[in-house]
Homo-oligomer: A and B are copies of this chain.
Amino acid sequence: MTQTAPDAQPDTQSRLDLFIDRMVSQRACLDFAIAETAAQRGPIFELGLGNGRTYHHLKTHVTGRDIYVFERAVASHPDSTPDDHQLILGDVRETLPAALDRFGATASLIHADLGGHNREKNDAFARLISPLVEPLLGKGGLMVSSDRMYFETLEELPLPPGAVPGRCFVYRR
């Protein structure tokens, strides 16, 4: 336990405020990353489907790239449920290494919203998956995450306009 969590906020912010900041930052970072990698043809990996809103956002705004969703079990809105061949079901500790065998270092964009309520658990999960995510990105590929990741070789980029510091992170190979 540190005295100040990395994303601690003044008490006057409500959970609604924090949530809006997170959603708005996520969209700003995704839109930036989609545009920044538009010339790349490598696949996009969405880690965690959840309700499917960010998958729907990717589907709406990306053309010419395959989008694969890594999820344990699908519980998304019907409008936002990927086709079976775009779904990679299972535990990411197994499916991410398998994706490296299948795709190599080709991903143009990887997005993860670990999204739990518990910051310590999110942080532990970020540490766990960082080394599994890192080798999947192709050259120039971007990783967008709602939590700070722990990469050895990727560069953390300045946030795009509209994103709130601490609510989203962008990394580039």
Q: Contact residues of A with B, CB < 8 Å?
A: 11-17, 19-20, 23-24, 26-27, 52-54, 56-57, 59-61, 77, 79-80, 117
Contacts and interface: CB of A to CB of B under 8 A. Distances in A.
Question: Is the contact region of chain A dominated by helix, strand, or loop, or is it mixed?
Answer: helix
A5 to B, nearest CB: 14
A55 to B, nearest CB: 9
Contacts of A53: 14-16, 19
B77 A117 contact: yes
A27 B21 CA distance: 12
A117 B78 CA distance: 10
A21 to B, nearest CB: 10
Contacts of A52: 15
Contacts of A56: 14-16
Contact of A54 (B16, B24, B77): B16
